[in-house]
Amino acid sequence: MNQMQNKKFYPWLVVIMLWFVALLNYLDRQMLTTMRPSMMVDIEELVSAENFGRLMAIFLWIYALMSPISGVIADRLNRKWLIVGSLFVWSSVTLLMGYAETFNQLYVLRAIMGVSEAFYIPAGLALISDYHQGTTRSIATGIHTTGIYLGQALGGFGAVYAVMTSWQFTFHSLGIIGIVYSLVLIIFLREKKTYSVDKALNTNPLKNFFSSFRGIAMLLSNISFWVLLFYFAAPSLPGWATKNWLPTLFSETLNIDMAQAGPMATVTIAMASLVGVLLGGYLSDKWVQKHLKGRIYTGVLGLSFTIPALLFLGLGSSLFSTVTGALLFGLGFGIFDVNNMPILCQFVSSRYRATGYGLMNLVGISSGALITSILGKSADSGNLGRDFLMMVTPVLIAIILQLVVLKPKTVNMTEDFDGQ
C-alpha cells in the first residue's frame, strides 16, 4: 500500500476517496431539510418551523464551536484516522436517527453529529492541500467540493425516499453506507505531512495545549486572516440560508408540495454549484499563474453572482425568478467556495492550515446557525423572502474588504507569517 502512495496517480486517488466522504457529509445533513413533512407525522414538535430551525441550528452551533478544536487536532494528529473516525461516528448517528421517537432524541443526535462532522472538513482539505501543492490545488479542491454539492443535491430527494419507504429507513440505509465506507478508507487512505510535529508535543499534553494556542494567536495577529474570517462568514449567511431553507422558499413561493420543492431547489442550486466549483477551480489555477491575486479575483467574481441571485430569490414570485435566483446563487457560491482553502494557503503555512480553516469554519457556521434560527421564525411569519434579500449587504462588504486588504506575497505560504 505504501508503494501505491508513491504513484503519480495517488494524489488524485486521495481526492476521489475524499470526494465520496464529502458527498456523504452533506447528504447526511441535507436530507433532513426536506424530510420534515414525513417526520412530523410521528414527531409532532416538527410541525413548528421554529422548532425545525432549532433542530438544524443545534448541529451548526456545535459544528462551529468544534471547528477550531478539530483544526488544531488535525494539524497535530494523523488526519487519516480523524477522517475515518469522523465518518464512522456521524454515520452511526445517522443510523440511530432512524430509531428516534421524540424531538429531544433527534436534538441530542444532531448535536453529536455536529461534533463528529466538524473533524472532517479541516482535516480533509488540509490533506488534499498537502498532496496538491502546485497549480493543481484549486482544481483538486474543486473536484472534492463537487462531492459536497452532489450530496446536497441528493439530499433534496430525502422527502421522496421517505415517501417511497419511510424516513426511518432512509436514515438507516445511509448510516450503514457510511459505516462500511469508513472501513474502506482504513485500507486505502494514507497520511502525508509536509512538516514535522515536535514529538515532545505528543508526550507532553500541557506543552501540546499551549502550543495549540500559540498557533491560534499567530493566526489572529494577522490582519489578512481577520479579513479572511469576515470574507468566509458574510457569504455563509446566504450560503446556509439556501442549504436549509431554499426548499421551503420554493414550496411557499411556487405553492407546491415539499416532495416537489425539495428536489427542485436542491438539484437546481447544487448542479449550478458543481459547474461553479469546476469553473472556479480551473479559472483560479490559471489566473494565479499570471497574478498573485488571481484566486482572490476569482472569489470576488463568484460573490458578485450571488448579489443578483439574492434579489431574484427575495423579490421573485414566479418559477422563472426563483429558479434563476437559485442557478445564479449556486454558480457564484461554487466559484467562491472552491477558492477558500487555496486563498488561505497564500497567507498561512501548512503547519497551521487546518487550524486556520477551523477558525474560518467557526465564524462561517456560526453565521449559518444564526441565520437558520432567524429564518425559522421568518418562515412562521411569512417573511422568508424579505430576509433572503437583506443578506445582500454583508456580501457587498466582504467583496470590498477582500479587494482592498488582501495582498498575497506568494502562491503557497511556506513560512510562519507575521502580522501584515
Q: CATH no. for residue 230? A: 1.20.1250.20
* pLDDT tier, 210 (very low <50, low <70, confident <90, very high otherwise): low
* pTM to 2 decimal places: 0.74
Q: Is the pLDDT of residue 266 over 80?
A: yes
Given this model, what pLDDT does residue 419 score? Answer: 43
Q: Does residue 198 lie in a domain region?
A: no
With respect to residue 209, please indicate whether it lies within any of the assigned structural domains.
yes
pLDDT score recorded for residue 3: 67
Domain membership flag for residue 197: no
Of 299, 328, 330, 298, give the one whose Cα is nearest residue 316. 328
Measure the CA–CA gap between 31 and 12, rounded to whole angstroms: 28
Q: pLDDT at residue 409 above 80?
A: yes
- What does the pLDDT read at residue 420? 43
The answer to whether residue 417 sits within a structural domain is: no
Most confident of 26-30, 254-258, 308-312: 308-312
| Count of structural domains within the chain | 1
- The pLDDT-based confidence of 212 (bands split at 50, 70, 90) is low
| Position 390 pLDDT exceeds 60 | yes
Per-residue confidence band for 82, with pLDDT thresholds at 50, 70 and 90 = very high
CB contact at 8 A, 303 and 401: no
Please indicate whether residue 12 or residue 245 has the higher confidence score (pLDDT): 12
Grid coordinates in use for 168? 426511518
Given a cut of 70, is residue 292 above it in pLDDT? yes
Closest CA to 326 of 392, 242, 261, 236: 242
If we measure between CA atoms, which residue out of 67, 142, 75 comes closest to residue 368? Answer: 67
Residue 380 placed within a domain? yes
Domain membership of residue 150 (yes or no) is yes
Q: What is the mean pLDDT of residues 209-237?
A: 82
Please report whether residue 134 resides in a domain.
yes
What average pLDDT does this structure show over 73-102?
A: 92
Kind plus residue range of the DSSP H or E element containing 315 = helix 294-315
| Domain assignment of residue 413, yes or no | no
Taking residue 396's Cβ as centre, other Cβ atoms within 10 Å add up to 13
pLDDT band for position 200 (cuts 50, 70, 90): very low
Cα–Cα dist 343/138, whole Å: 9
Interval 153-162 mean pLDDT: 82
Give the residue numbers spanning the domain of 137: 2-190+204-405
% of the chain surpassing 90 pLDDT: 37
Judge whether 29 and 109 are in contact, CB under 8 Å. no
